[in-house]
Amino acid sequence: MLNNTGNILTALLTGAVVGAGVGILYAPDKGKKTRKKIKKSAIKAKDDLANSITHAKDEFSKSAEAKKVEFEEKLEDTLSTMSYKADDIIVALEKKLEDLREKNAQLQK
């Protein structure tokens, strides 16, 4: 989803820059004025792009942090479940060992 938003944003900014450039080039102004307008539009587009990149980076960081927290919670739950299962296995093995000791004691009588 973030990638699509970035692509759409890039396409919109590119379209705006191209549109502004074409509009300025066809405007009935002198060359110096036109160059000044082009420069102003390029600076604005650069600033807009920088802001968009910063926003996308912030969104990515938030998303990555949320995924990290989610992963840590799932890992903790999994480890906890595994711990209970390990305890169950140990109890079962201890019971089996006790049964085998009793059978061994009976066989040695």
- DSSP letter at 109 equals -
pTM reported for the whole predicted model: 0.47
Q: How many folded domains does the chain comprise?
A: 1
Which domain range does residue 27 map to? 2-107
For residue 27, the model assigns a pLDDT of 66
pLDDT of residue 33: 79
**Over residues 86-109, mean pLDDT:** 89
Angle at Cα 97 formed by Cα 101 and Cα 107, nearest 5°? 25
- CB contact at 8 A, 37 and 29: yes
Alpha-carbon distances of 38 from 18, 21, 109, rounded to whole Å: 10, 6, 104
CA angle 48, 43, 57 (to 5 degrees): 30
Instruction: Give the tens place of pLDDT for each residue, 5-40.
Output: 777 777 877 887 777 777 766 766 677 777 787 788
Tokens 């074409």 map to which residue? Answer: 22
42 Cβ neighbours under 8 A, 6+ residues apart:
17
Give the tens place of pLDDT for each residue, 44-94: 888 888 888 888 889 889 999 999 999 999 999 998 888 888 888 999 999
